[in-house]
Amino acid sequence: MASFAEQTGRLPALLNTSFNHKAEPIVCTPRDLVATFAASPLDMLAIGPFLVSEASRN
């Protein structure tokens, strides 16, 4: 994310509209979403009214 901000001069945020990780299929359920987030290098996850941070993984 930091390199995106450095390269574009914009806020360090990306939106992936087909959320999946490596060779995994696109997530279809909230359970899939949380499992994929746990295995990814993402800093934050937004789902509905919830915002999950990287710190909550521990």
Task: Identify the three-state secondary structure at position 52.
Answer: strand
Identify the residue whose tokens are 């915002």.
51
Q: What is the pLDDT of residue 22?
A: 81
Q: What is the pLDDT of residue 56?
A: 62
Q: What is the pLDDT of residue 38?
A: 87
pTM: 0.58
| 12 and 1 Cβ atoms separated by less than 8 Å | yes
The whole-angstrom separation of Cα 20 and Cα 24 is 6
Six-digit token pair at 27?
């997530």
How many angstroms from the chain centroid is the CA of residue 6? 19
Q: What is the pLDDT of residue 24?
A: 84
Q: What is the pLDDT of residue 1?
A: 55
Task: Please give the chain's pLDDT, 58 residues, in tens.
Answer: 567 778 888 777 767 677 888 888 888 888 888 888 888 888 888 888 988 887 765 5
